[in-house]
Amino acid sequence: MRGAGHFADRLAAAVERKGAPLCVGLDPDPALMPDGLGVVEFCRGIVDAVAETAVVVKPQAAFFEAQGADGWAALTEVCEYARKAGLLVIVDAKRGDVPSTARAYAAAFAPLADAVTVNPYLGFDSLEPFFASDGLGVFVLVKTSNPGSVDLQDLLLADGRPLWQHVAGLVDRWGSDLVGESGLSSVGAVVGATFPQEVAEARQLLPRSVLLLPGVGAQGARPEDLAEAFSVGPAGAVVSASRSVLYADRGRGWQEAAAAEAERLAGELRAVTALG
């Protein structure tokens, strides 16, 4: 089970303790993993490598679900292992469906995770079961890191705003009653670090939300371009890197390389947040 208390407050305490708001994504791709390792063994090894540096790990549910019947057991084991190592866990599931289905999704992921990513396309009632889950953080997709996000998220509304900005306004409203002692809400937003200008704009639209910023590393985003995200404080955003850490070395030195890359990124984030 996840730790007690408000998600954003637990995150703020972890960032203060570790000194850098680094998230390491767990995307265990058998085609990229070192030879001879299973999914659980690989993910546990990454957790061991980054536990002293990162504040969060973000298992990507799809890579576990792709393992069939054993995948959910593997995800459960990895989440439990990460929490025992002192890390918060965001399960990257991107769920969102009609209310009855959403309740089932929330019941499935709440025992595993400190937070979960969700898709807002079906509206508030599709996400309400996640918001109502005690202590669970929720990261709503707002402006995603992939190039194709422009196809829908940048469509202009009648008032001239892109659609993603409207979604950001909804997220701010949905999270307004779920603000912790840190001043941050348990309802956060996923905003791609690959779009630095949009990150800065999202920060203005979402003054109480933690921003989950994927795209550093393999997708080309840089921590130094994300300073605006931390204008509300060092826990105002979490910067996520996955492949650049996981597969820094695919040979015998894979753990050492992952630890070194995580520390390098953490150093850059300390400079950006003026914590180090």
Active site residues: 94
Q: Is 134 exposed, middle or buried (0-12, 13-18, 19+ CB in 10 A)?
A: exposed
Q: What are phi and psi of 119, to 5 degrees?
A: -105, 125
Q: Is 56 exposed, middle or buried (0-12, 13-18, 19+ CB in 10 A)?
A: buried
What token pair was written down for 107? Answer: 């019941």
Asked if residue 238 lies in contact with residue 10, where contact means CB atoms within 8 angstroms, the answer is: no
What region, left, alpha or beta, does residue 10 occupy, with left being phi > 0 and alpha being psi -120 to 50 degrees? alpha
DSSP state of 97: -
Q: How far apart are CA 35 and CA 140, in angstroms?
A: 35
Distances from the Cα of 49 to the Cαs of 29, 41, 44, 224, 228, in angstroms? Answer: 18, 12, 9, 24, 29
Asked if residue 217 lies in contact with residue 241, where contact means CB atoms within 8 angstroms, the answer is: yes
What token pair was written down for 15? Answer: 């960032």
